[in-house]
Amino acid sequence: MTENNRWRKPSLFILVLTIVVASLLSGLGVWQLQRAEEKKQMELNNNQRKNELPLALELPFMVDENMRFRPIRAEGKFINSKQFVLDNQILDHQVGYNIFTPLLLDDDETVLLVDRGWLPLKGSREQLPDINVGEALQEVMGTVYVPYGKAYSLGTVDNDGLEWPRLIQYLDFEQLQERLGMNILPMTLRINAEHKDALTAQWPLVAIRSNNQLSYEVHIGYAVQWFALALTVLVLLLLLHSPWVKHRSSK
């Protein structure tokens, strides 16, 4: 028996597998860094908008990403008879709903969906909470929320029933527009907590503080972990085939 201290060439399979795994792990790290930057920008935009004066909503109203988190005020009448109840919404580790009430604007043809906030699930989903609201002409103030892309879905927003309020699984402005039979602005207004018709008006940003750490910092931590795993895979390849590891062979 002799000891061979020379570099042992890894097999093609091991080499390809190592490269693939390290690349995948590095890719996950890059993705986490991208998510961290997105969430950091979300928080910065939200903080910058807080001190802006509310913009009066006047039709025609241009909706784009620049309006996200913008304080606005809109005048109209709530449509009490046709409200949407967004299912499976979690706040403080409790399951519930977010209530979207259409606000009919001054042209009597265009609707703004007002997110009045969250309500807890109590009992069965067959019995929806009491969400009645007055229909008098009023001013509603809040912040604009423009969704980040279209919601992922496998079917329609609801069960195609005719009953109201309508239980929905996600927001799709085109489908909700069909349900209402009115034009809907492709955004929601997150109502101010001081409004008399506000519910639990809390919308935690994905970039809020959690355990004294910003969530984008959490993503950076995840990225470091993925990069460390990729490096570990490469180091293991080197160690297992390095000349410092003695490989015994027979003569």
Provide, rounded to the nearest whole percent, the portion of the chain with pLDDT above 70.
85
- pLDDT at residue 7 is higher than 70: no
Q: Do the Cβ atoms of 121 and 96 come closer than 8 Å?
A: yes
pLDDT band per the 50, 70, 90 thresholds, residue 62? confident
Element (H, E) at 179: helix 173-180
pLDDT band per the 50, 70, 90 thresholds, residue 68? confident
Nearest to 8 by CA among 225, 210, 245, 224: 245
Cis ω for the linkage preceding 102 (within 30 of 0): no
CA atoms 89, 92, 95, 97: torsion sign: negative
pLDDT at 219: 82
pLDDT band per the 50, 70, 90 thresholds, residue 79? very high
- pLDDT at residue 2 is higher than 80: no
Rounded Cα–Cα distance for residues 167 and 151 (Å): 16
pLDDT at 239: 80
- pLDDT at residue 1 is higher than 50: no
pLDDT band per the 50, 70, 90 thresholds, residue 204? confident
- pLDDT at residue 250 is higher than 60: no
pLDDT at 165: 92
Neighbours of 219 (CB within 10 A): 22
| Residue range 96-104: mean pLDDT, rounded | 96
pLDDT band per the 50, 70, 90 thresholds, residue 230? very high
Q: Do the Cβ atoms of 216 and 107 come closer than 8 Å?
A: no
pLDDT band per the 50, 70, 90 thresholds, residue 209? very low
pLDDT tens digits for range 131-168: 999 999 999 999 999 887 666 566 678 877 778 999 99
